[in-house]
């Protein structure tokens, strides 16, 4: 057997791939890339905050009406211990609720994609669950399951399982039927097709659902706390408004935003770490189209 010699070039070693050739691994280029990525959002936020601070000071707006960013920052620093305590409560609700959403969401997606009967039976209910205003269900949950952590966990789960189910179902269905046929000719049974093709193919979709899900899960926790709670950032906001502690309300909002962004970033980082093939493929395509 003669070796095939159309392209005799050796395989690129790590760090010498196409990305390296285009200068991505050089420190200067890396720094420039990072700056390009982070500068615009940082700049626009800084500009907005500066404008806010200046306008509030110039107009002499009272603090209870609209505190300047500096006052919110002072509040964050001065009451950090109390805020941290409530943050942990809300974070626990989000984490527990999202874990439930993930388990239920993946389970439902697999059920829906595995049999037409289940799809017809379950999918409409999944969609219907999102048409009922969560704010209407939350007080009922309070009556049904109590005043503790559980109703918040349920609200978080209810609000964030939906994008997980919908995306994962799309992912499980995204498999090329010819690919399934190929596996069958190689002797694969239904379970093997599911495990070796459908599940890996659905993971990028699942992560899309997770990213949307974590972002809205924080909203779920806050709604749960508004309706009835004794702690947590949502409860803190409800307590602070009638006392005109507006800076504290804003401090809670800042923390909730940071929490949402951090959870989203965590999901994105996990996706990159777990699906390297997906990211390199996307980057390669982006480079080809430039």
Partner 1 sequence: MRSADSTARDSGAAPRPPKLQVERLSKSYTMGGVHLPVLDAVSMAVAAGEFVSVIGPSGCGKSTLLNIVAGLEEPTQGTVLLDGAPANDRLGASAYMHQKDLLLPWRSVLDNAVLGLELRGVSRREAHRRAQALLPTFGLAGFEHQYPHALSGGMRQRAAFLRTVLAERPLLLLDEPFGALDALTRAGMQAWLLGLWQSLSKTIVLVTHDVDEALLLSDRVYVMTPRPGQVRTMLEVTLPRPRAYTLTTSHAFAQLRAGLLAMLWREGHEALR
* Residues near partner 1 (CB under 8 A): 1-7, 10-11, 17-18, 176, 178-179, 181-188, 192, 196-197, 200-201, 203, 275, 277-278, 280-281, 284-285
| Shorter beta-carbon distance to partner 1: residue 135 or 270 | 270
Closest to partner 1 by CB, 6 vs 116, is 6
Question: In a 3-state reduction of DSSP, which class is residue 111?
Answer: helix
CB of 7: closest distance to partner 1 in angstroms?
Answer: 7
Residue closer to partner 1, measured from CB, 44 or 274:
274
CA distances from 153 to 39, 123, 141, 221, 241 (A): 36, 22, 10, 7, 24
Distance in Å, CB of 56 to partner 1, minimum: 52
Comparison of 7 and 116: residue with beta carbon closer to partner 1: 7
Q: Give the whole-angstrom CA distance, residue 256 versus residue 154.
A: 19
Cα of 103 vs its chain's centroid, Å: 15
Q: Measured from the CB of residue 170, what is the shortest distance to partner 1 in angstroms?
A: 17
Nearer to partner 1, 14 or 133 (CB): 14
Closest approach, Cβ 172 to partner 1, in A, equals 15
* Complex with partner 1: residue 122 or 201, whichever CB lies closer: 201
**Nearest to partner 1 of 148, 284 (CB atom):** 284
- Please identify, using beta-carbon distances, which residue of 13 and 116 lies nearer to partner 1: 13
Find out whether 75 and 135 touch, Cβ atoms under 8 Å: no
Q: How far is the CB of 200 from partner 1 (least distance, A)?
A: 5
* CA dist 151 → 147, 179, 234, 288 (Å): 7, 44, 14, 49
Residues in the chain: 290
Residue 146: CB atoms within 10 Å: 11
Nearest distance from C-beta of residue 179 to partner 1, angstroms: 5
CB within 8 Å of 22: residues ≥ 6 apart: 287
Closest distance of CB 90 from partner 1, Å: 36
Q: At what angle do helices 199-227 and 134-145 cross, to 10 degrees?
A: 70
Closest CA to 89 of 252, 262, 231, 235: 231
> Could you tell me the smallest distance in angstroms from the CB atom of residue 102 to partner 1?
21
Burial string for 160-184 (b: 16+ CB within 10 Å, else e) reads bbbbbbbbbbbbbeebeeeeeeebe
Backbone angles phi, psi at 15, to 5 degrees: 85, 0
Quickly list DSSP for 217-258: HHHHHHHHHHHS-SSSHHHHHHHHTTTT-HHHHHHHHHHHHH
């Amino acid at each position: 057997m003669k070796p095939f010699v159309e392209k005799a070039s050796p395989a690129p070693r790590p760090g010498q791939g196409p990305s390296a050739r285009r200068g991505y691994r050089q420190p200067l280029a890396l720094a420039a890339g990072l700056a390009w990525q982070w500068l615009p959002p940082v700049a626009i936020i800084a500009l907005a905050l500066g404008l806010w601070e200046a306008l509030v000071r110039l107009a002499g707006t009272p603090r209870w009406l609209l505190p300047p960013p500096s006052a919110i920052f002072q509040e964050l620093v001065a009451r950090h211990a109390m805020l941290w305590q409530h943050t942990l409560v809300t974070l626990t609700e989000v984490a527990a609720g999202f874990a439930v959403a993930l388990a239920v969401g993946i389970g439902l997606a697999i059920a829906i994609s595995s049999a037409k009967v289940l799809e017809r039976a379950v999918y409409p209910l999944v969609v219907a669950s999102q048409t009922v205003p969560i704010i209407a269900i939350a007080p009922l949950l309070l009556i049904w399951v109590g005043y503790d952590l559980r109703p918040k966990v349920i609200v978080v789960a209810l609000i964030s399982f939906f994008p997980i189910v919908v995306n994962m179902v799309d992912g499980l269905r995204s498999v090329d039927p010819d690919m399934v046929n190929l596996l069958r000719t190689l002797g694969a049974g239904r379970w093997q097709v599911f495990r070796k093709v459908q599940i890996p193919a659905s993971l990028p979709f699942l992560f899309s659902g997770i990213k949307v899900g974590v972002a809205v899960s924080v909203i779920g926790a806050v709604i749960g706390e508004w309706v009835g709670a004794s702690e947590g950032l949502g409860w803190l906001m409800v307590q602070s408004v009638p006392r005109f502690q507006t800076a504290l309300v804003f401090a809670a909002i800042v923390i909730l935003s940071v929490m949402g962004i951090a959870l989203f970033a965590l999901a994105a980082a996990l996706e990159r770490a777990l699906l390297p093939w997906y990211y390199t493929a996307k980057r390669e395509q982006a480079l080809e189209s430039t």
